[in-house]
Chains A and B, each alone.
Chain A
Amino acid sequence: MLDVQHLSVAYGVTEVLRDVSFSVREGSVVALLGGNGSGKSTLLNALSGLIAPKGGSVRYLGEETAGLGAHQMVRRGVVQVPQGREVFADMSVSDNLELGAATRSNRKEIRNDMGDVFALFPVLRERRMRAAGSLSGGEQTQLSIGRALMARARLLLMDEPSVGLSPRMVDAVIEAILRLRQRGLTILLVEQNVGVAAAVAEQAHVLKDGVIAYAGQAKQLINNPEVLASYLGR
């Protein structure tokens, strides 16, 4: 579904990603791990069109998409769930979900999809008229995922959904991702938390200093002390 070849990204003269290649199969969950400053978020931002890559190719469903803007990627179904959730705190939950459908206009379909999101995350239905900022961290994560689904996401780019959450909430996030996987959604998950990655992903890639340093089965990763020690600093 997504095929990244020799991707490089630079901020000014600082090269953040060098020659990154990997692919994501349709319907799979792929984890992208790495420590702080390894270029994980930069990679997601390049894939979602928030920043333009310097070189290399990104093919999504057979189409070259490197260099397209974020709104063009969203229309194609590539939607990012940003780090820190980034819900619009002063808007109601339902306005936040409506914003996910900013690129769409068919009211009936939007209403149906909102029903789907509510079925997936019932707590959002309960609180739909409340300010998004009044939700708990876990609920905000559900809202930011629901918002991305409202854009008819086919490939979800999740940027550290577990960060800053209590262990119980992290379990809720894992549970949510598993439910999305069941529905056949393709997910590229950026994480620092190896446990989360191992619980939901089949494949894992470890990013270090802007290159992919390890690729393999996610489950094997937690049992590979060498990888943990050298790339994730454990």
Chain B
Amino acid sequence: MPVQALVGHRSFLTLLFGTLLVLPAVANQYTLFVGNLMLLYIILALGLNILVGFSGQLAFANAAIYGIGAYGTALLQVHLGWSFWAAAPVGAVLAMVIGTLLAIPALRLSGIFLALATLAFAQATQWVLWHWQSVTFGAGGFRTPSPSFSWFAIKQDYGIYFVSWVTTVTLFLFTWRIMRSRIGRAFVAMRDGEIAAQSLGIDLLAYKAMAFALSSFYAGVAGALYSGLLGYMSPEGFDLFQMIIQKAMIVVGGLGSVVGSVLGAALLVYIMEFLREFKSTQEIVFGVLLVGFMVFQPNGLVVFMKRWLPGWEEPMHLPERPQAISKPDVVEGTTSGDHPVVERT
């Protein structure tokens, strides 16, 4: 491996996931909780980026799907007496099934209309969480049972932490692989030109359903882990602000970038905790970050990473080589994005 490849995505990922792995040895309970939150948000950002960044589906339901995974897992334990280990997979799959159904409106709607439809779905989910009190316990929330780690002889908060770490790294590697495969390529094709993708035989229904299924499975898994982490749950955790947090993560990190999802999630969880004492500042800072990046750098921090770090490479990304920009002699009819076309030398 050439030396320059050391300065790239590999070192960043090794450093981040390595630090998170040894964190329990050095951290107090609060830092461990923040580390765990970081892991969950990495899962959420990876999933959301598959749907929004790679597949180009402007959906706003991820926070609600996350909530369905969390509530599903917790309520199965509370009402039916299931163990966490039985409830968590069912909660995640429930979230995936409901999330996949959102692909049906997505076949007819795109852009802002899909955003509105999925936003309506998210608000409806909130309404159910607030008002179906006999099942969801309403606005006041409820205590969720702690997962048992007796079979592993490990303390509960370490237990859920390591489960989260293993899940996150597994899902990261899975995302990386799948985005490099023909599935990832088809997602990007669907984003960059639906008609062209269709005329190449890409079945839009199948691939949209797959994008929604993948992203809502990730959200469901994160929700299940969240219910095991927090010990308490209320509808506010899955509201519009939650959606903004997740959206800001992928926009800041980089839409359509696997490592960017990790980068954005890690960075924004850090900022979020830094501002924990001033909840209203959180909302302002996240709003400003989201809008600022959309306006000034819609492709996120990975643009700088690719420019400055020679070894930074990612699925479906051509490496940035600023000195070699050339314009095609015919512009009409191409599906170029909003940044200049760059060639590899």
Contacts and interface: CB of A to CB of B under 8 A. Distances in A.
B89 to A, nearest CB: 29
A140 interface: yes
A55 to B, nearest CB: 23
Given A102-B185, A147-B200, A84 B333 contact: yes
A102 B186 contact: yes
Contacts of A87: 196, 334-335
Contacts of B337: 89-90
Contacts of B342: 131, 134
B74 to A, nearest CB: 41
Nearest to A76: B201
B273 interface: no
B332 interface: yes
Nearest to B256: A90
B333 A88 contact: no
B182 interface: yes
A204 to B, nearest CB: 24
Interface in A22-43: none
B207 to A, nearest CB: 9
A89 B189 CA distance: 10
Contacts, number: 127
Interface stretch (A67-75, A183-191, A218-226): A67-75
B316 interface: yes
Contact of A74 (B200, B326, B328): B200
A88 B335 contact: yes
A130 B189 CA distance: 17
A70 B198 CA distance: 6
Interface residues of B, number: 34
A140 B327 CA distance: 13
Interface in B8-52: none
B199 A133 contact: no
Interface string A65-100: 000011101110001101111111111100100111
B285 interface: no
Given A86-B335, A89-B335, A100 B341 contact: no
B199 to A, nearest CB: 4
A131 B341 contact: yes
Given A80-B199, A133-B336, A151-B200, A88 B328 contact: no
B343 A140 contact: no
Given A71-B202, A82-B196, A102-B182, A164 B333 contact: yes
Given A82-B196, A102-B201, A131-B343, A164 B330 contact: yes
A89 B182 contact: no
A152 B220 CA distance: 39
A69 B330 CA distance: 31
Highest count of chain B CB atoms <10 Å: which of A69, A88, A102, A151: A88
A48 interface: yes
Contacts of A50: 195, 198-199
B192 interface: yes
Contacts of A70: 198-199, 201
B200 A92 contact: no
Contacts of A80: 199
A174 interface: no
B36 to A, nearest CB: 36
B328 A134 contact: yes
B79 interface: no
A165 interface: yes
B277 interface: no
A129 interface: yes
B328 A133 contact: yes
A56 interface: no
B279 interface: no
B186 to A, nearest CB: 6
Contact of A133 (B195, B203, B341): B341
B196 A86 contact: yes
Interface in A119-173: 129-131, 133-137, 140, 147-148, 151, 164-166
A134 B206 CA distance: 31
A182 interface: no
A112 interface: no
B344 interface: yes
Contacts of B185: 91, 95, 98-99, 102
B318 interface: yes
Contacts of B335: 86-90
Interface of B: 182, 185-186, 188-189, 192-193, 195-203, 206, 316, 318, 326-330, 332-337, 341-344
Interface of A: 48, 50, 69-71, 73-75, 79-80, 82-92, 95, 98-103, 129-131, 133-137, 140, 147-148, 151, 164-166
20 contacts: A48-B199, A71-B198, A71-B201, A71-B202, A71-B206, A86-B193, A86-B196, A87-B334, A87-B335, A88-B188, A90-B192, A92-B344, A95-B316, A100-B200, A134-B342, A135-B328, A136-B329, A140-B334, A148-B200, A166-B329
In the A-B complex, the 3 residue pairs with the closest CB atoms: A84-B333, A74-B201, A137-B330
Given A86-B334, A164-B332, 10 more contacts: A71-B198, A82-B199, A84-B332, A87-B334, A88-B335, A99-B186, A130-B343, A131-B344, A134-B341, A147-B200
